[in-house]
Structure 1
């Protein structure tokens, strides 16, 4: 049996702390039709699910939290409990697909069964259909969930067999075990631990210090809205080359501009401290890319919604992320998670339970970037033409954004509370407009550059 890490278990506690939260993550694969027969789909998906051990396992909790929850084999596993079907009124457009996806994602997964669902939906326009894979966040982060989805695809068999976390189950609260573990971790700390400690201070300050009061944070209901935006990766690369920034910088700058306009539409002032954003950072090593579970750290930058100029926004985002990376926040998050794994689980669980029940006012939104496959995938011979990510909502965050690349597109999946964030579609379209404007500025700047200067830059 394998046990959950402290971080994995933390997602369960965060969900339990708010009856309106559902901490499942998802992705919608839109495929060219016609959709295969149901019996063909069921047989094909069932066979592929069998190759992913975590999808056949139940979550087993310990009495009184004396040990971490464990993954155990479901002796009565039946894929039919998890593969479900739906149909949209034809022709189902993007708005109809988004409404349906929001309804599916807002409902919690049944903890008496393996924590995933695979929905097949028919009736999309242009003779298309879709698969929505939904897994609990305690089971996988974005990269692990993406790998699970790839295992359902026609070429998924060429990937290495996913395995679970390598943390061995202790099953009980044994002081000698955890003292020894804590000693091994502390004695092996490199000099970089000092930087990690400073980074930890930054993270704790970011979580404790309230952001400016806006309509972006507060209690949420159990209902959700979902919308997507898509841009060309070639366009994003154009901006990256022009300004010497990363794809993530461009994505976050576009999110900044869209949130700024959203606040203005709501009649609120976009202050410099209005949008502290949780930016997950993968710490997954190359040899663990096929493992399930969460292997992430965090950065907590303020996105510059107070700045109106798009280039100023982009350069500020780039400098703040560079500063956050150098401050030790990434290392601190990884260190804190490792340290938490060395603490007796009862203390970890009780502390996490108390913290997740406190009002959270420091972080305003989450923006997570998951690199997706650059080659197009197929399921039972049908090509996946679009891949749409869906983040969760919890901890009084009223909006969340997942960013995923697929083939030649960069996709933004925006989820929001149904009542508090009725304008998620405007937030998604605002991201598209912001990137289009950055592309226009980049192309215009290139055209206005003297030829000699351009040749000098290329030659250098």
Structure 2
């Protein structure tokens, strides 16, 4: 409830009652007993310790041996263990209740859930602390010192001693840090909170109250509970750059610019006013594109930047015009796209450009839109581009959904995320790396195929269109590599899947990457497609996508900016994948830009650091338009690679019945004609 526009505090009597109810649940769980329960808890404790030794993370004995001889430190550690987690947690709850009632509700709900999940674990999986398992060799510093308020003192004589997994002491400390990270961004507060978490971790292990894995489990419980209970509020203008968007600021380098976009071929004649007409269109729709009017605030090592208004746009820079010599053919346009893709966008102005290209063969023109990844992902960029085209399409979800259907509820999301995290942990890494340049040099190529032909290939082999695309990328790459056998037998690709909910804004990154291994060996193309189709189920279950999105959006958002930057540079690129392949649906009808019909639209994807290949496919008015971006160290002729991808798809389609000859006035390229590449169906 709100009063005068401000959230109303919940009744304090009710809040105390809720707290007492949770304590009652704990007391009931602590009173549970059955024959052999203590022996079971001891056995569980030994198993955890054995697992730590197998993983070589058993740091507790060394910490315990170090603490025991230091009498003063031992007493301080005992009191820290007994008091600071309680004081910090309840002090934060009290402060939020008084100062930020709206935030308090989230904090209270997440805190209650942390405790209830932990209590449930204590009840069904009792674990004794290492200090109580005599044969492990730990010294019980708590009982040794008889610290007031801790184990061994009358104050907690009835507490549940068999509740080491997960560590609630550490979980409460991490929960406090997570709440402060979300709503108190000062460096001093963050620093003190980080020290508290680190000290608590050392204390619980040095006093032999918990294992390291108990602390890890407590952290996972906190992350899950904070995420599940987090209120879903719409983004605000001028807000701090979201963690999934800042991710691409961190991974960007001079050799790996991170902007996405598209190349649109226009059939409007060689108009002299086209550039001015395109500028007029963007101006007219600027109110629908908030990030086109905003730039990033001054960079800071310790905080993510904010979006700030930048009303004075340099239109000559944002909408430049380029003229090509039609005699140079499509190679000149491909070279221009490659040049734009390898040139970083400056951060002192809105991070987008819309090139108007004239002088193409046949009196055609082109428009090249590039938008920095911090503004939107590939799906979002398509949605933004559609705002500039006519006729206006009705609102709809754009992009390959992760799992399809309605968004799952919070409980299903939580379980799906947990399953996905386990799956991601077992995915492994690619066996090899491909060569890359030290600079941002790029090659770009395109191929256009009739969408019916691609669907026919998929239906013929009992696969999906996305499976056909993935198999064609692997088969096409093998055909153009100088030494394909040296590249290995698997191509690890990152497949972006959108988790954007219908009706949400086009800004921001709401995709999650799912890794797939594509067969790259010397196989018949039908057999390659069968292998891809068999392994593509992971793209449709949604669990990996949920886990990826959780890590990118929730978990990474809790990290300090330097740690987030390290995380982004560590997980994005050659360590985990070798290429990016994205398939996006587009409009099923003819659209126009500034009165010029758009006859084809090809995605332009950025290369990830160390991953020298990115392939984007976009369905566009009956065609599948494929754009290939490649590092010349891998493939010097991206146009040849694009043609090879198209040839694989035609081969998968197989022989087709002869097509009746169309009247000359309506001449079209037959759907089954192998020439349905750039020289024919591309129409450029």
Summarize deviations over 1:275-300 as a string: whole Å, max 9, x none: 11101111111122x42111111211
Of Structure 1 and Structure 2, the greater strand share is in: 1
Q: Partners in 1 of 2:260 and 2:569 — Cα distance?
A: 24
Change (3 A) 1:147 1:350: closer
SS of 1:228's equivalent? strand
**TM superposition shift of 1:260:** 2.2
SS at match of 1:3: coil
Pick 1 or 2: higher relative contact order, CA cutoff 8 A, min separation 6: 1
Residues 11-57 of structure 1: CA distance to partner in whole angstroms, max 9, x if unpaired? 01000xx3211111111111111325144443333323343221111
Partner of 1:5: 242
Distance 1:261 1:442, change over 3 A: same
Post-superposition offset of 1:197 = 3.1
Match of 2:400 in 1: none
Deviations 1:113-158 (A, max 9, x none): 00000101111001100110010011111111111111222334x6
Higher CA-based Rg = 2
Alignment counterpart, residue 313 of structure 1, candidates 528, 544, 551: 528
Residue 396 in structure 1 maps to residue 610 in structure 2:
yes
Query: Separation in 2 of the partners of 1:10 and 1:325?
Result: 25
Are the counterparts in 2 of residues 24 and 137 from structure 1 also a CA contact under 8 Å?
yes
Instruction: Tell me the equivalent position of 1:252.
Output: 470
Report the equivalent of 2:580.
366
In structure 1, the residue matched to 2:183 is none
Q: Name the count of aligned residue pairs.
A: 408
Q: What do residues 246-280 of structure 1 show as CA deviations (whole Å, max 9, x unaligned)?
A: 110111111121122234x335345333x111011
Q: CA deviation at 1:2?
A: 2.1
**Alpha carbons of structure 1 residues 253 and 61: separation in structure 2 relative to 1, 3 Å:** same
* Pair 1:278 & 2:510 matched: no
- Name the CA shift for 1:413/1:354 in 2 (closer, same or farther; >3 Å): closer
User: What is the match of residue 518 of structure 2?
Assistant: 303
Task: Work out the CA distance in 2 between the residues paired with 1:270 and 1:346.
Answer: 36
User: Counterpart in 2 of 1:29?
Assistant: 264
Q: Secondary structure at 2:453's aligned position in 1? A: helix
Give the secondary-structure state (helix, strand or coil) at the position aligned to 2:325: strand
CA contact (8 A) 1:6 1:337 kept: yes
Using structure 2 for the length normalisation, give the TM-score: 0.56
**1:64 maps to 2:301:** yes
TM-score, with length taken from structure 1: 0.81
* Alpha-carbon distance between aligned partners in 1 of 2:483 and 2:380, rounded to the nearest angstrom: 37
| Matching residue of 2:382 | 146
Counterparts in 2 of 1:77 and 1:204: CA distance versus 1, 3 Å? farther
Alignment partners' CA distance in 1, 2:271 and 2:575: 45
Give the structure 2 partner of residue 196 of structure 1: 417
Partners of 2:457 and 2:654 within 8 A in 1: no
Classify the secondary structure of the residue corresponding to 1:212.
coil
> Where do 5+ consecutive residues of structure 1 fail to align?
163-187, 445-460
**The residue matched to 2:642 in structure 1 has which SS?**
helix
Distance 1:431 1:443, change over 3 A: farther
Q: How does 1:257-268 map to 2 (within 5 A)?
A: 257-263=475-481, 265-266=482-483, 268=485
Distance in 2 (alpha carbons) for counterparts of 1:419 and 1:350: 27
The reply to whether residue 355 of structure 1 matches residue 592 of structure 2 is: no
Pick from 428, 438, 451 the counterpart of residue 233 of structure 1.
451
**Counterpart for residue 120 of structure 2:** none
C-alpha separation in 1, matches of 2:359 and 2:283: 23
Cα 1:363/1:430, change in 2 over 3 Å: same
Task: Please say if residues 480 and 635 of structure 2, whose CA atoms lie closer than 8 Å, have aligned partners that are also in contact.
Answer: no
Name the one with the larger helix percent. Answer: 2
Q: Does 1:80 align with 2:301?
A: no
* Aligned 8 A contact 2:254 2:344 in 1: no
Q: Aligned in 2, Cα 1:303/1:354: closer, same or farther, shift over 3 Å?
A: closer
Shift of 1:344: 4.4
Question: Any conservation in 2 of the 1:119–1:133 contact (CA below 8 Å)?
Answer: yes
1:32-181 superposed matches below 5 A: 32=267, 33-37=269-273, 38-61=275-298, 63-66=300-303, 68-156=304-392
**Does the aligned pair in 2 maintain the 1:92–1:123 contact within 8 Å?**
no
Q: Deviations over 1:132-190 (max 9, x none)?
A: 0010011111111111111222334x66699xxxxxxxxxxxxxxxxxxxxxxxxx962
User: Structure 1 residues 317 and 245 mapped into 2: Cα distance closer, same or farther (>3 Å)?
Assistant: same
2:432 to 212, 215, 223: 212
Q: Deviations over 1:304-361 (max 9, x none)?
A: 11251122111111110114544821221122123236514436534336626x9833
Q: Give the Cα separation in 1 of the matches to 2:454 and 2:471.
A: 11
**Cα-to-partner distance string for 1:37-82 (whole Å, 9 max, x where unaligned):** 144443333323343221111112563323x322121142343330
Whether contact under 8 Å (1:25, 1:136) holds in the other structure is yes
Give 1:5 shift: 1.9
5+ residue gaps, structure 2: 1-237, 398-408, 659-684
Once the two structures are superposed, residues 381-432 of structure 1 have per-residue CA deviations (whole angstroms, 9 ceiling, x without a partner) of 2111111111101310111111111011111111112344203222111111
Q: Write the distance in 1 (CA, Å) between the matches of 2:502 and 2:468.
A: 25
Q: What RMSD, in angstroms, separates the aligned Cα atoms of the two structures? A: 2.7
Give the secondary-structure state (helix, strand or coil) at the position aligned to 1:421: coil
In the alignment, what sits opposite 1:427?
641
Once residues 423 and 71 of structure 1 are traced to their aligned partners in structure 2, the CA distance between those partners, rounded to angstroms, is 39
1:383 matched residue in structure 2: 597
1:375 is displaced (CA, Å) by 0.9
